[in-house]
Amino acid sequence: MTEQPSPVHVYFNRHLKLWSIRRSGIVIGHASSVALSGCALHAGESARQRCVSTGQRDVHAWIKGTLAEGARPGDAIRIGYRPAQPGFRRRDTDEIVVAASAVSFEPDGSAWALAPTPSMELHS
């Protein structure tokens, strides 16, 4: 029986200007670029609201998936997160995204999703 690789969380480290890779709550590395497959996008709403009200930033948004290899697909769509708005959002339509088949994290701090899944909830 082949053991499945355990998922990781990836988020942008604003101090190091690198992507942090966390497994089981422990940062296992930093990279200028990384790719994940089978992605779920998490943004904690109560922590987001706390950040907005206090001005203190913390890690409350990340993308969970399995480490993968390969270049960013040409049809990937840029996504991002801003504490001023709930959820990860497509940069072209501002639609909230909750999952993607793959996400490529680039050296310039941008993230690109392949086949992003929109949220079924309505948010402004």
Give mean pLDDT in consecutive 10-residue pieces for the chain, a chain of 124 residues.
80 96 96 97 88 83 95 95 92 96 97 94 57
- pLDDT at site 25: 93
Give the Cα separation of 78 and 57 in Å (integer).
23
Burial (CB count <10 Å: 0-12, 13-18, 19+), residue 15: exposed
Give the Cα separation of 51 and 67 in Å (integer).
29
pTM of the model: 0.88
| Structural element, H or E, at residue 43 | strand 34-43
Give the Cα separation of 89 and 8 in Å (integer).
20
> Between the CA of residue 69 and those of 33, 53, 87, 95, 97, what are the distances in Å?
10, 38, 26, 27, 22
For the chain, give every domain's residue range. 8-118
Are 13 and 20 in contact by the 8 Å Cβ rule? The answer is: yes
